[in-house]
Amino acid sequence: MKKLINTPDGVLADSLAGYAAAHPEVRVDPVNRIVYRATPKEAGKVALLSGGGSGHEPLHGGYVGLGMLDAAVAGEVFTSPTPDQVQEATKTVDTGAGVLHIVKNYTGDVMNFDMASELAAAEAGVQVETVVVADDVAVQDSLYTAGRRGVGTTVLLEKIVGAAAEEGRDLASVASLARRVNDAGRSMGMALTSCTVPAAGKPTFDLPDDQMEIGIGIHGEPGRHRQDLAPASEIAQLLVEPILADLDFTGAPVIAMLNGMGGSPLIELYLMYGEVAKLLSAAGVTVARPLVGNYITSLDMAGCSLTLLKADDEILKLWDAPVVTPGLRWGA
């Protein structure tokens, strides 16, 4: 294992310290491992909280700031944060208008966020709503989930719903929008290599040099199948076709995110997006807002994922609204 670390068990603490040093616009609680906005949202606005295991950066801490999250809770690499961590963040970010928990559909995350919301309500009177993101079309059930895994739509949802919260919408409205976005998003991923969790010291799974995994999860969970390596044009088909078969994306503007898994260079990601764009155009899908880069990763895994979100004028307006975070920034 070759990694830029001090010790395997100190990766998260050391990374959070570096994150705080690099981004004065956020505040890091090193004890509870929570990233907050340095300047809290004004009173009377709904707060957004997300989090999960580390290793998916910039998700979630990179999306704390104006127009997105109020805080992100960091578990150890690929490990859910504890209920105590989530409860602490929930109580801290509440301005009196309630808190929306945005939770990726992994069993530990769902359970711990649920426990935390109950504790925050009982002990501090915080009103909490929860949306569980479940957009991965690759498999119905996985090692970490009951039902579909929560992947790329999480990023788009945090941006869109974050803009709605900045407008001053109430908790019920923000939660309703979040569920609508979740229902309109679909994702599919693939891997050329495994990832290596620092504490494990070796690749999560073995993938021969001449094969790729189609439908991979963001923790290295198995996908639909393995097959021989193929040109990017064929890989694009393997990502696009299952998504379009699952939901009709014609007749509405679409937000399309071609996301790197952490180990593939941008030159390859843009090449892949070019292939995806041709397929979507041929299928009658109108991409109104493209996004290409590393937004929800799996440590050093080489590969990519595609997320499509069926939008409308309201969603596009919220997407275009100003955002100032380390991971996304425009309009301000």
Q: Maximum CA pair distance of the chain? A: 56
Q: Are 264 and 230 in contact (CB under 8 A)?
A: no
* Alpha-carbon separation of residue 160 from 7, 95, 225, 293 (angstroms): 37, 20, 33, 18
Rg (CA), the chain: 19
* Alpha-carbon separation of residue 20 from 79, 308, 310 (angstroms): 21, 32, 35
Pick the closest to residue 328 from 302, 289, 301, 300 (CA basis).
289
From CA 239, how far away is CA 252, in angstroms rounded? 20
Annotation marks residue 225 as catalytic: no
The tally of CA atoms less than 13 A away on the side-chain side of residue 80 is 20
The catalytic position among 56, 60, 101, 225 is: 56
From CA 154, how far away is CA 136, in angstroms rounded? 11
Instruction: Give 56's contacts (C-beta < 8 A, 6+ positions apart).
Output: 218, 296, 297, 298
29 three-class SS: strand
Phi, psi of 226 (to 5 degrees): -105, 150
What element of type H or E holds 160?
helix 153-167
The catalytic position among 23, 60, 101, 219 is: 219
Cα–chain center distance at 107: 16
**Which residues are designated catalytic?**
56, 219
